[in-house]
C-alpha cells in the first residue's frame, strides 16, 4: 500500500493544447495563474494484494474436508487492487458566445482565456460565497456562490476573481477483485478457473476527466455563457471599442446558466478501474 501527499502548484497551463504555450489570463497579475496543477489529487492511496482464502485442507476452515470437497472449496486465491483519492482542482469560468468584435475588458484583445485550452473567449468567475454550502443534491458546488465579473475596464482590477483551479471536485475510489483456483493434473499440466471483477462494488467514480472537466468543451466547471452589449452612444475609435455594458443575468438573451455546472452525473474510468462493474470469467490450461 502506498500513500502520497501531493501539493503540486505551478503557473503553467496544463489543459488543452499546452504544447503551443499559452497566454497569462491576467497579464497585470501573473499570480492569478498560480495554483494547484490540474488533475492532481492532494491525497492518494493505492493498494495491491494477493491472499489465500482460508478454506480447505491445511487452512483455518474445513481443514479436514474430504478430497472432493477440498477440490471444490480449497486452494482458492483472491487478488485486489484499489485506490482512493481526493478531488482535483477546477477553474470556474464563463464562456462569451459573441465576443467578436466586442471583447471584455475594453482592451480589444481576443486572447482572454480562462482555462488555457484555446477553445473560446472565456472569463473566470467571481467567487462570492461558500462554494460547497447550499449545493443541491447531486451537485458539487452551489451556483449562487459564483457570479460574472465586470466586463468593462475593471475586468482585470476587481477582487474575488478565481485563480486557476480554485475549487475542488469530488473525491472518489474504486476496487478491483480477482478470484481464481488452479487444479493440478500432474507436474506439467494444470487448469486455472476464476473470475476478474473490475469495479466490484459498481461504485460511480464521479471525478471528471479532461473531456468533461478541464476546458471550455467540458461542462463541469462552466458556470454559464453570456453575450456582450455595448453603449451605442460611445462609438469606438481606432484601436478602441465602445464601452461594454454590464451583463444582465436576468435576461435570457444575455445570460444562459449551465445546468450541468458541478453536476455529478457520470462515472469515469480511473486508475485502471472501469467506470462500471465488469466481470470476466477465466479458464486457462497450462502445460
The whole-number pLDDT of residue 20 equals 58
pTM of the model: 0.81
Q: Which three cell numbers mark 70?
A: 477440498
Model pLDDT, residue 154: 81
Which pLDDT band, with edges at 50, 70 and 90, does 240 fall under?
low
DSSP string, 208-264: --HHHHTSTT-STTEEEEE---B-TTS---TT--PPBPPP-TT-TTTEEE-TTTTB-
pLDDT at 246 over 90: no
- Asked if 112 and 121 touch (Cβ cutoff 8 Å), the reply is yes
Q: How many helices (H) and strands (E) does the chain have?
A: 2, 16
Query: Please, are residues 172 and 267 in contact by the beta-carbon 8 Å criterion?
Result: no
For residues 30-40, average pLDDT: 83
Rounded distance between C-alpha atoms, residue 163 and residue 35, angstroms: 7
- Please tell me the predicted confidence (pLDDT) of residue 22: 64
pLDDT computed for residue 185 by the predictor: 82
Per residue in 211-228, pLDDT tens?
776 555 568 899 999 988
Asked if pLDDT for residue 176 goes beyond 80, the answer is: yes
247 and 225 Cβ atoms separated by less than 8 Å = no
Res 194 pLDDT > 60: yes
Calculate mean pLDDT across residues 39-65.
85
β-strand partners of 51:
78
- Nearest partner of 122 among 241, 246, 228, judged by Cα: 228
Neighbours of 33 (CB within 10 A): 20
**pLDDT exceeds cutoff 60 at 17:** no
- Could you tell me how many residues make up the chain? 287
Amino acid at each position: 500500500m502506498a500513500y502520497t501527499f501531493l501539493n503540486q502548484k505551478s503557473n503553467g497551463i496544463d489543459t488543452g493544447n499546452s504544447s503551443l504555450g499559452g497566454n497569462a489570463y491576467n497579464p497585470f497579475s501573473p499570480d492569478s495563474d498560480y495554483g494547484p496543477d490540474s488533475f492532481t489529487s492532494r491525497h492518494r492511496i493505492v493498494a495491491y494484494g494477493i491472499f489465500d482464502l482460508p478454506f480447505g485442507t491445511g487452512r483455518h476452515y474445513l481443514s479436514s474436508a474430504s478430497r472432493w470437497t477440498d477440490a471444490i472449496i480449497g486452494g482458492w486465491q483472491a487478488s485486489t487492487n484499489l485506490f482512493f483519492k481526493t478531488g482535483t482542482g477546477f477553474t470556474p469560468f464563463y464562456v462569451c458566445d459573441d465576443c467578436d468584435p466586442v471583447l471584455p475588458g475594453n482592451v480589444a484583445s481576443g486572447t482572454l482565456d480562462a482555462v488555457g485550452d484555446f477553445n473560446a473567449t472565456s472569463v473566470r468567475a467571481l467567487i462570492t460565497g461558500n462554494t460547497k454550502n447550499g449545493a443541491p443534491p447531486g451537485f458539487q458546488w452551489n451556483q449562487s456562490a459564483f457570479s460574472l465579473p465586470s466586463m468593462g475596464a475593471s475586468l482585470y482590477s476587481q477582487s474575488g476573481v478565481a485563480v486557476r483551479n480554485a475549487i475542488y471536485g469530488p473525491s472518489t475510489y474504486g476496487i478491483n477483485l480477482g478470484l481464481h483456483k488452479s487444479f493440478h493434473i500432474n507436474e506439467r499440466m494444470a487448469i486455472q478457473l476464476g473470475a476478474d471483477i473490475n469495479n466490484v462494488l459498481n461504485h460511480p467514480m464521479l471525478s471528471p476527466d479532461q473531456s468533461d472537466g478541464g476546458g471550455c468543451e467540458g461542462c463541469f466547471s462552466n458556470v454559464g455563457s453570456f453575450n456582450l452589449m455595448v453603449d451605442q452612444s460611445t462609438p469606438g475609435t481606432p484601436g478602441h471599442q465602445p464601452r461594454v455594458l454590464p451583463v444582465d443575468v436576468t435576461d435570457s438573451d444575455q445570460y444562459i446558466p449551465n445546468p450541468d455546472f458541478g453536476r455529478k452525473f457520470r462515472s469515469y474510468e480511473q486508475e485502471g478501474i472501469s467506470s462500471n462493474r465488469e466481470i470476466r470469467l477465466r479458464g486457462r490450461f497450462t502445460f
